[in-house]
Structure 1
Amino acid sequence: MQLVIYFLMILTYTHADYPALKALLSEKGLRDVSQMLSVQIQSKLKSTEIPEFRGGVDIKIGTVHYVLSNMRVVQCSMTDPSLVFVEGTGVSVEVSQLTLSITGSWATQFGIIHDDGSFDVAVYNIHIYTLLQLGDDAGRLSISTVQCSADVGSVDIHFHGGASFFFQPFVRAFSGQISGMIREQICPAIQQAINGLETTLQEIPVNIPVDPYLYLSIPLTSSPAVTHHSFELDIKGEFYSRSSPSEPPFSASVFDMPYAENYMLSIAASEFLVNSAAYAFLSSGALQINIRDDMIPKSSPIHLNTSQFGAFVPQLRTMYPNMEMQVLLYASETPLFSFSSGVIEIHVPAAAKFSAVKPDGALLPLFRLDVDLNFNGSARIDKNLTGAFQMKNLTLTLGSSEIGDFKTDTLEQISVMAVKMFLLPKLNAALKTGFPLPTPQGFSLINSQLLINNGFVAIFTDVQDSLTGL
């Protein structure tokens, strides 16, 4: 179950009426997780330290006190655990035909008589059934044990060493007790493990720092939805500015993530998640840059100089001849993403404030150009998340001016050329290489598919244990 929860928490009250992030584990996912669990349970059992047992056995003529210590599992075999969704509750976990071989040391005391040696135990057909409740605790996923039962088929025990005939009755009596001892330990051990997992879940932060500007809020917006074939989490999925957190002037819309029965895990994000990140960046003041002439390649035919810009703005040559210029380029409103069938569209409202640089470094405001940019493109998964974009439209208008009106047609044409020749090639080169998707440590995503639909984007994927290949 820790693997199940871990997969779903890769991605967990809200201003938005609807969640912007959804995560779904399918029935196939649960089956595949059971295979991983079989390998990990056996590995875990072989490395688990078994605490020593102390007790006493009445052999009619008195009580033999015993200590079993230095115990370890030397062999373990089992069929894959059966994990089944229980609608409206959570997950049932059933382990059957678990067989353990254990070695250890024994020591006994009967009055003044002491004896010791080693022992081997084979425990056959251990059967465990647990029903787990999955819920929502103040926006965090919660897990608790509803039901637990355990049974032990048979026990074969052999004691080695020890010479006293007093202890032969003890061996026969103890063999009858050990199956009960093992059975009584199983459910408390499971309960302890579930309590530890619940503590871990409650310690998972619901606000995750992403970078110096943003954090992501991921509390659950409702209790997990458990059906007979899936387990779905609805997650807030909203970015906030770390310096000035506030709600955006738009809200999330409802969307239904398709059920992909042939994939283990499905993760979907609505436009709201991406757009809240853009709003948070804008609120943080991150969507702006000061452009100086020394940042422009020397080979560029245009430089930030009033004499050169005089070709487009004639009054610059007469009012402020041969002065360096500086441009503050910034998003004037929130850039907005929209998803439609197979297409991602981006609308970027921006502005560029041009200033002349005086000899003492002070800035002299000149004019502001308003830019309206539209891009569209696509994305896909090929090991990495890749994509390609093209410019759909660019318009440039004079927003304000301290030097009088002028036409912007030529500047618009130059801006279009600059975006097509410089900005888009660099962007698409980076997108062609792509970006790796975040995965849990020790696991990898395989057979992944990306779906861009109206209002949301979804990733359907299988998860593979990097060590076992399962």
Structure 2
Amino acid sequence: MQLVIFFLLILTHTYADYPALKAVLSEKGLRDVSQMMAVWIQNKLKSTEIPDVRGGVDIGIGTVEYVISNMQVVQCSMSGPSMEFVKGIGVSVEVSQLSLAITGRWATQFGIIHDGGSVDLAVYNIKLKTLLGLGDEAGRLSITTISCSDEVGGVNIQFHGGASFFFQPFVSAFQGQISEMIHVRICPAIQQAISELEKNLQKIPVNIPVDQYIYLSILLTSSPAVTDQSFELDIKGEFYSNTSPSEPPFSASAFDVKYAENYMLSLAASEFLVNSAAYAYLSSEVLQINITDNMIPKSFPIHLNTSQFGAFIPQLLTLYPNMEMQVLLYASKTPLFSFSSGVIDVHVPVAAKFSVVKPDGMLVPLFRLDVFNSDCWII
């Protein structure tokens, strides 16, 4: 029972918060991602290490030892890939008509006789299909390889230099050996690349600095939602003060985003995103300004000094004759924003603290004035 309660507490702590930011990738966006995936797959296959091929050929009077080495993918062409959302799982990636051009060196030894030259290989009609799982790991997007399969259509080999004609009768044997060698390395190369991508995803910071005062948390609040047509991320989207990070006295509410299929990516934010930024700035003591008399134009009829304010508060002239004053104007509570059909409602509670500036620069607090609880409308 205690174990059950423990896991319930973990789930509550991890997933209780509603997201303030949502991102939805559509099928159109996935098609654009597939173009980047094509470049990524080609680069990974080009960097795949191909081991040497060694063996011997019996010529009746002995065995000729051979090695095909230094094989490197120099060109990679493909159509696609085709990518589709798999509901509740992730993305399937299918590649057809993938072709590789490989160069290398061949060498033979028969007793004290050595020979060698270059070799060109064309590996064609490679088919690749993999299923990628999308999830979350400690609030970060994660990606794993669920399944992978591949098929090599054929191999063409051309030997150059030396007694290359000697190898032509054995080309079919080389083709089968190299075809199998390529086949068994394609999926491991893709799986390793996905594993490296996953490691990089886990290194991405989840707290993004905005300025010297606040930062934005982009932790995931739940696992990605994958449908047949889209991929949705629920992101915490909460701002925090750098100096005194704390939760605001209000919480996020549930909201939905309606994405447009003709857009690659749809983003939506709730009021909580903006209001948490206001609270973070308030906690950082940024939403305030000191107003001094030299900031007021000389032509203005009212100035910050006890001579003028003494007309309203006679004690000022008695206690602090002919002294300058200073006003600290600040948000007394968190400014709150609300959105509705093209209108932004801003509620800003503001207060002012008045002080006298003594000749030595010391401030003497006088009184506080709640200037206004302002409601502003921005259309």
- The CA distance in 1 between the partners of 2:266 and 2:357, in whole Å, is 54
1:215-254 pair list within 5 angstroms: 215-254=215-254
Name the structure 1 match of 2:332. Answer: 332
Alignment check: 8 A CA contact 1:45 1:73 kept: no
Gaps of 5+ in 2: 1-12
Q: Deviations over 1:151-181 (max 9, x none)?
A: 1112211111122665444444212322211
- The CA distance in 2 between the partners of 1:136 and 1:91, in whole Å, is 15
Alignment check: 8 A CA contact 2:86 2:227 kept: yes
Name the structure 2 match of 1:57. Answer: 55
1:191-210 pair list within 5 angstroms: 191-210=191-210
Name the structure 2 match of 1:287. Answer: 287
Q: Deviations over 1:19-47 (max 9, x none)?
A: 111111111111122234335555x369x
Quote how far apart the aligned CAs of 1:185 are. 1.1
Q: Deviations over 1:209-268 (max 9, x none)?
A: 332222222221111111100111112222222222221111110001112111111111
Once the two structures are aligned, what percentage of the paired residues are identical? 70
TM-score scaled by structure 2? 0.87
Alignment check: 8 A CA contact 2:96 2:128 kept: yes
Q: State the secondary structure of the residue aligned to 2:146.
A: strand
RMSD over aligned Cα atoms: 2.5
Name the structure 2 match of 1:373. Answer: 374
Letter of the 2:378 partner, please give it: G
Distance 1:225 1:335, change over 3 A: same
Alignment check: 8 A CA contact 2:41 2:190 kept: no
- The CA distance in 2 between the partners of 1:269 and 1:300, in whole Å, is 43
Distance 1:164 1:139, change over 3 A: closer
Distance 1:104 1:138, change over 3 A: same
Alignment check: 8 A CA contact 2:216 2:240 kept: yes
Name the structure 1 match of 2:10. Answer: none
Alignment check: 8 A CA contact 1:23 1:266 kept: yes
Quote how far apart the aligned CAs of 1:205 are. 2.4
Q: State the secondary structure of the residue aligned to 1:327.
A: strand
1:187 aligns with 2:178: no
Alignment check: 8 A CA contact 1:66 1:109 kept: no
1:281-430 pair list within 5 angstroms: 281-298=281-298, 300-309=300-309, 313=312, 315=314, 318-319=317-318, 320-370=320-370, 371-378=372-379
Alignment check: 8 A CA contact 1:306 1:316 kept: no
Name the structure 1 match of 2:212. Answer: 212
Equivalent residue pairs, number: 362
Q: Deviations over 1:341-369 (max 9, x none)?
A: 12222111111111121112122223222
Distance 1:338 1:306, change over 3 A: same
Q: State the secondary structure of the residue aligned to 1:53.
A: coil
- The CA distance in 1 between the partners of 2:298 and 2:115, in whole Å, is 91
Name the structure 2 match of 1:89. Answer: 89
Q: State the secondary structure of the residue aligned to 1:17.
A: coil
Name the structure 1 match of 2:74. Answer: 73
Letter of the 1:284 partner, please give it: S
Gaps of 5+ in 1: 1-12, 379-470
- The CA distance in 2 between the partners of 1:99 and 1:164, in whole Å, is 24
Alignment check: 8 A CA contact 1:16 1:252 kept: no
Alignment check: 8 A CA contact 2:215 2:241 kept: yes
Name the structure 2 match of 1:383. Answer: none
Name the structure 1 match of 2:106. Answer: 106
Alignment check: 8 A CA contact 1:64 1:170 kept: no
- The CA distance in 1 between the partners of 2:40 and 2:197, in whole Å, is 16
Q: State the secondary structure of the residue aligned to 1:124.
A: strand
- The CA distance in 1 between the partners of 2:150 and 2:15, in whole Å, is 46
Alignment check: 8 A CA contact 2:50 2:72 kept: yes
